[in-house]
Chains A and B, each alone.
Chain A
């Protein structure tokens, strides 16, 4: 009893500690700039929704969220479509250099995104993809596909090969088997992979900012406009920050039961 009480206390303190910055962000987003700058208040004294109103009424603000969501969704779809067959191949077939190739897939993730900035910018603007959602989505695939292959390979290897053979004996064609039987078996893995792809793409700013100017401008780039020669618009910046957390929260909510297995990369 005392043991669990102490545990509960520890967890409560920990959660408060972790949530404090988020609370502060939320708190600031409901304050006026004057209140933020003048004194320390634990909750908004003059509660205002003006900061959120700025974002929701100005198309140049909210289009940033829409742009980000569009390229993140495209990225997640491409990542999964490309990584699923690849991961299946790595898990089920043996070919020359398979282990090396599998390992070296990760090398794309070993370089910081900044390395790819200029090549990508040159490439995309020469083929007319500059400032499009697909350009950012493709650029993010460079980082997400290798990770997705690694995660999915773990989940796929956890499914006994006998299933594949049984389906074959039962007369399933390979595509039918893959879609109707196999994918449902690793759906938690797919969920987790989608989550990781989403998270990387959602918070990545460097590539997204460099490859866009107006039509596909990510929210992260738009948020920089709160910083000006006459100071920072703290209230709107916090409101924008709060709104960027929400999509992540929603995604976590949907995959929450699978996240633990995801971190183990499926090798339970």
Chain B
């Protein structure tokens, strides 16, 4: 009896103590997260377009929004570049401290990321909770219907966990992740472009300038068209030959039979020649892959079906690639892959490169390199790529890589939303400027226009100027005409390699490629695997029917080498500056 009476009392007491303790520990938790936010904001995210108060407000929102996910462990994956290394090593830790969600941000090779993504799409089984996947796949995601568009998520089940300070309009790459249905499929996380690269110090030398002018009749400068690029390539490789006792070359490229040879082309090489149609970000109805789309359905890539993959402009672009590689690049370039060729210009014997990724910026500004001055400023500059004779104003002029957060419907909802929080964190204004300065892959207008970027500009060889310029919009990723990026992209290197090695002519190689692409699209059409806007191939007809019509596929030009045209680099900068102010 006595004992029985005492039980409820002790129980009550312990409950009371427990409750008090819980309250205390909740209090402690709240402090722990806001302390962490303060620490990270003041120690790591010092450079930001937000004031410290705004940063703390944003972080407090993350802490609050993440309450329901505390203690969860989520896995996300991306390719390896400096930006993602920063996310994996710094931002994931900060996010865990501030929200209590543990993130493993896994880094693997890009090809493996796509493989995992495809496995998850095809099997419907969750492998990662979110992927950073290039927006080149936007046409794929939109058609297969296995991706949760972020605009749907923001309006639907993710509304409560969408950062009110996200400011989507501030993103410069949103257009690339939006499908024709108006939905935003992916959230941009990092961007880099493919530009023209040249040795500004050599281009300034009076003796070389005079020699060039005497030979070609116009000034040595940033080439505006491929004729000028070709002349400059010939000038350095065959005319100048040696600078300060070192053999120099007017061109650098790669030609090994390797999957990376495919990107060399699918990353918009034909767009530079002018093979596609007008309209931005990608040509319509024919894009730079040469795929024609009618009412959102891909209808073919061979000229006979209205496509341009094997049209005269594409053949011309391939011929130039092969010719220049043979005639003007260092002899070893023929046997190199993308990764091997990439660092070559940094060694100081290449005068210009038509196809150069700005992702190499930081590795080419390391002190002690032959292409970097004593004070750490680069001897080289980047500039807009020259265009081929088929190019007209209003067409895209090169490639931009936009790695973007992608969420699949096969990921359990709770995990997907927790990952959505992390994705927003990696692009939040609190952290994004700091991340941009580390990785040099800007995604926000506000970061690009910041004072910090102005301060960094002299060290970055024109990166900041390019991203601030109005010309930026001409550089875009693969667009929505491509119905299945992984299946189609893998065809390219095998056929291009035939042309690169001389095994077949560019025309034959591209005929094969166009036919192979059409076959894949035919299979997709038959299998009816696409939820919306799947391929519906045109019946083949006479090539002349298509070539005689305006737009792509374009008929062969009588003169594919107009007079070379160049522009002084400083004039280019000035015109950008004027356009920005005007």
- Complex Cα spacing A221 to B109, Å: 8
Interface 9-residue window, one of B338-346, B452-460, B546-554: B338-346
- B347 on the A face (CB < 8 A): yes
Give the residue of B82, B88, B347 whose beta carbon is less than 8 angstroms from that of A230.
B82
Name A233's closest neighbour in chain B (CB-CB). B80
- A132 on the B face (CB < 8 A): no
- Complex Cα spacing A223 to B109, Å: 9
Q: Contacts of A105 on B, CB cut-off 8 Å?
A: none
Q: Contacts of A213 on B, CB cut-off 8 Å?
A: 75, 77, 106, 116, 127-128
Q: Contacts of B340 on A, CB cut-off 8 Å?
A: 232
Cβ < 8 Å to B, chain A residues 218-261: 221-222, 224-232
- A217 on the B face (CB < 8 A): yes
Q: Contacts of B343 on A, CB cut-off 8 Å?
A: 37, 231
Give the residue of A125, A224, A231 whose beta carbon is less than 8 angstroms from that of B108.
A224
- A38 on the B face (CB < 8 A): yes
- A182 on the B face (CB < 8 A): no
- Complex Cα spacing A60 to B80, Å: 13
Name A37's closest neighbour in chain B (CB-CB). B343
Q: Contacts of A60 on B, CB cut-off 8 Å?
A: 88, 104, 106-107
Task: Using known A-B contacts A37-B346, A60-B106, determine if residue A228 contacts B368 with beta carbons closer than 8 Å.
Answer: no
7 A–B contacts, CB within 8 A, in A order: A118-B123, A217-B106, A225-B108, A227-B109, A228-B110, A231-B339, A231-B360
Q: How far is the CB of B365 from chain A (nearest CB, A)?
A: 12
Q: How far is the CB of B362 from chain A (nearest CB, A)?
A: 7
Q: How far is the CB of B439 from chain A (nearest CB, A)?
A: 10
- B14 on the A face (CB < 8 A): no
- Complex Cα spacing A230 to B84, Å: 12
Task: Using known A-B contacts A60-B88, A221-B108, determine if residue A125 contacts B123 with beta carbons closer than 8 Å.
Answer: yes
A224 near B81 with CB under 8 A, answer no
A229 near B125 with CB under 8 A, answer no
- Complex Cα spacing A118 to B362, Å: 40
Contact with B along A188-229 (1 / 0, CB 8 A): 000000000000000000000110011001000110111111
Q: Contacts of B82 on A, CB cut-off 8 Å?
A: 230
Give the residue of B127, B128, B401 whose beta carbon is less than 8 angstroms from that of A229.
B401
- A122 on the B face (CB < 8 A): yes
B106 near A231 with CB under 8 A, answer no
- Complex Cα spacing A227 to B88, Å: 16
B125 near A125 with CB under 8 A, answer yes
- B373 on the A face (CB < 8 A): no
The DSSP consensus for interface residues of chain A is helix
Name A229's closest neighbour in chain B (CB-CB). B359
Q: Contacts of A225 on B, CB cut-off 8 Å?
A: 80, 107-109
B88 near A214 with CB under 8 A, answer no
- B357 on the A face (CB < 8 A): yes
Q: Contacts of B79 on A, CB cut-off 8 Å?
A: 228-229
Cβ < 8 Å to B, chain A residues 49-68: 58, 60
**Count of chain B residues with Cβ under 8 Å from any Cβ of A?**
38
Q: How far is the CB of A215 from chain B (nearest CB, A)?
A: 8
A209 near B112 with CB under 8 A, answer yes
Beyond known contacts A37-B346, A210-B119, A228-B80: 20 more, CB 8 A cutoff: A34-B369, A37-B343, A60-B107, A118-B123, A121-B125, A122-B123, A125-B123, A213-B116, A213-B128, A214-B75, A214-B106, A224-B108, A225-B108, A227-B80, A228-B110, A229-B110, A230-B357, A230-B362, A232-B339, A232-B340
- B192 on the A face (CB < 8 A): yes
- Complex Cα spacing A214 to B108, Å: 11
Task: Using known A-B contacts A210-B119, A213-B75, A221-B112, determine if residue A229 contacts B106 with beta carbons closer than 8 Å.
Answer: no
Q: Contacts of B75 on A, CB cut-off 8 Å?
A: 213-214
- A130 on the B face (CB < 8 A): yes
- B366 on the A face (CB < 8 A): yes
- Complex Cα spacing A227 to B346, Å: 18
B363 near A231 with CB under 8 A, answer yes
- Complex Cα spacing A225 to B105, Å: 12
Q: Contacts of A231 on B, CB cut-off 8 Å?
A: 339, 342-343, 360, 363
Name B348's closest neighbour in chain A (CB-CB). A38
Interface centre among A118, A225, A229 (most CB of B within 10 A): A229
- Complex Cα spacing A230 to B109, Å: 12
A-B pairs, 10 with minimum CB distance: A224-B109, A228-B80, A230-B359, A125-B125, A225-B80, A225-B107, A232-B339, A231-B342, A229-B359, A214-B75
Give the residue of A58, A118, A230 whose beta carbon is less than 8 angstroms from that of B81.
A230
- Complex Cα spacing A217 to B107, Å: 11
Give the residue of A38, A58, A224 whose beta carbon is less than 8 angstroms from that of B347.
A38
Q: How far is the CB of A198 from chain B (nearest CB, A)?
A: 25
B109 near A229 with CB under 8 A, answer no
A226 near B116 with CB under 8 A, answer no
Give the residue of B108, B357, B369 whose beta carbon is less than 8 angstroms from that of A222.
B108
A121 near B119 with CB under 8 A, answer yes
- Complex Cα spacing A54 to B125, Å: 33
- Complex Cα spacing A38 to B343, Å: 9
- Complex Cα spacing A221 to B128, Å: 15
Q: How far is the CB of B128 from chain A (nearest CB, A)?
A: 6
- Complex Cα spacing A209 to B107, Å: 13
B347 near A37 with CB under 8 A, answer yes
- Complex Cα spacing A268 to B357, Å: 61
Name B112's closest neighbour in chain A (CB-CB). A224
Name A213's closest neighbour in chain B (CB-CB). B127
- Complex Cα spacing A222 to B125, Å: 22
Q: Contacts of B347 on A, CB cut-off 8 Å?
A: 37-38
Name B357's closest neighbour in chain A (CB-CB). A229
Q: Contacts of A214 on B, CB cut-off 8 Å?
A: 75, 104, 106, 128
Name B343's closest neighbour in chain A (CB-CB). A37
- Complex Cα spacing A122 to B122, Å: 11
- Complex Cα spacing A58 to B107, Å: 12
Cβ < 8 Å to B, chain A residues 22-69: 34, 37-38, 58, 60
- Complex Cα spacing A106 to B359, Å: 49
Q: How far is the CB of A46 from chain B (nearest CB, A)?
A: 10
Cβ < 8 Å to B, chain A residues 97-118: 118
- Complex Cα spacing A214 to B554, Å: 49
- Complex Cα spacing A58 to B104, Å: 13
Q: Contacts of A224 on B, CB cut-off 8 Å?
A: 108-109, 111-112
Contact with A along B70-98 (1 / 0, CB 8 A): 00000101011110000011000000000
Q: Contacts of B362 on A, CB cut-off 8 Å?
A: 230
- Complex Cα spacing A177 to B357, Å: 69
- Complex Cα spacing A213 to B119, Å: 12
Q: Contacts of A210 on B, CB cut-off 8 Å?
A: 119
- Complex Cα spacing A184 to B390, Å: 79
- Complex Cα spacing A33 to B113, Å: 25
- Complex Cα spacing A231 to B89, Å: 20
Cβ < 8 Å to B, chain A residues 115-152: 118, 121-122, 125-126, 130
- Complex Cα spacing A209 to B192, Å: 29
Q: Contacts of B116 on A, CB cut-off 8 Å?
A: 213
- Complex Cα spacing A224 to B77, Å: 13
